[in-house]
Amino acid sequence: MLRIIPRLDVKAPNLIKGVRLEGLRVIGDPQEYAVKYYKAGADELLYMDIVASLYDRNNLANIVEKASRDVFIPMTVGGGVRSVEDAKTLLRAGADKVAINTAALKRPELVREMAETFGAQCMVLSVEAKRKPSGGWEAYYDNGREHSGRDVIDWVRQGAEFGAGELLITSVDQEGTRKGYDIELVAAVTQAVDLPVIASGGMGSVSDLTKLVEQAVPDAVSMADILHYERIGLVEMKAELKQAGLRVREIEP
């Protein structure tokens, strides 16, 4: 069953949105949007502190704690998580899963430490992928600003070996463009590893999503722009997906 996951990029205290992870605009209060998406039938929520890596800390604990009082679906939280203790703070605040990117690229052993401490089901490896001129994709960090030099497919394989329980794959090239997901990227990842994959970056229409699922077979899809700017609602989106023959969770009345 395909999971539909609204993505909430946060620059505390605001929900923001950009294009290719740049040119950030304030959208509103993340709590209001979280509750709205929960009530509209979201399967999970994804919170990302998009400036956390610049300041070596994650500022989402208070936002997540507040959300957990009104939102009763799984929440994945990432951005600036540097240690097991950082993850513990977010899990105590109400997160169900913690996503790491920058710290994992700098010290891959952190993936294993988190999986062993909290269980693989809590450990999401976040990958910001950009196409390489020579072919394939490179993993970036610091919100798509910095080169890691690592090939994405090699990196997700290593992450799986180290105990990641899930992968969040964001196409930096497509993110915020409304031009569709990078289907080739997602397909390469789903074929390379036997882990649940969340695809993020580029959804402009429901047809973009159906093409992605048919050709790349991710377990979940994440989107922001299309929901934040109310170009479609979750109820309508799920109805169209169901009509297209995809299995999605029924929205409870």
Residue 74 β-bridge partners:
none
Token pair in block for residue 48: 């990302």
Q: What is the pLDDT of residue 17?
A: 81
Cβ–Cβ < 8 Å for 248, 1: yes
Q: What is the pLDDT of residue 54?
A: 59
Q: What is the pLDDT of residue 70?
A: 97
Q: What is the pLDDT of residue 20?
A: 63
Q: What is the pLDDT of residue 251?
A: 76
Q: pLDDT tens, position by position, for the chain (253 residues)? A: 999 999 999 988 899 887 765 557 889 999 999 999 999 999 999 999 987 755 656 689 999 999 999 999 999 999 989 999 999 999 999 999 999 999 999 999 999 999 999 999 999 999 999 999 999 999 999 878 899 999 999 999 999 999 999 999 999 999 989 999 999 999 999 999 999 999 999 999 999 999 999 999 999 999 999 999 999 999 999 999 999 999 999 876 5
Count of Cβ atoms closer than 10 Å to residue 135 Cβ: 6
Q: Report the SS3 class of residue 213.
A: helix
Active site residue 128: yes
Q: What is the pLDDT of residue 142?
A: 85
Q: Provide DSSP, 16-69.
A: EEEETTEEEEEEE-HHHHHHHHHHTT-S-EEEEETTHHHHTS---HHHHHHHHT
Cβ–Cβ < 8 Å for 251, 235: yes
Q: What is the pLDDT of residue 57?
A: 64
Q: What is the pLDDT of residue 140?
A: 96
Q: What is the pLDDT of residue 50?
A: 84
Which residue is catalytic, options 9, 43, 86, 166? 9
Active site residue 184: no
* Dihedral in degrees, nearest 10, Cα atoms 54, 98, 225, 207: 140
Q: What is the pLDDT of residue 215?
A: 98
CATH number, domain 3-243? 3.20.20.70
Which residue is catalytic, options 96, 128, 138, 182? 128
Q: Radius of gyration (Cα) for the chain, nearest Å?
A: 16
Q: What is the pLDDT of residue 59?
A: 80
Q: What is the pLDDT of residue 13?
A: 87
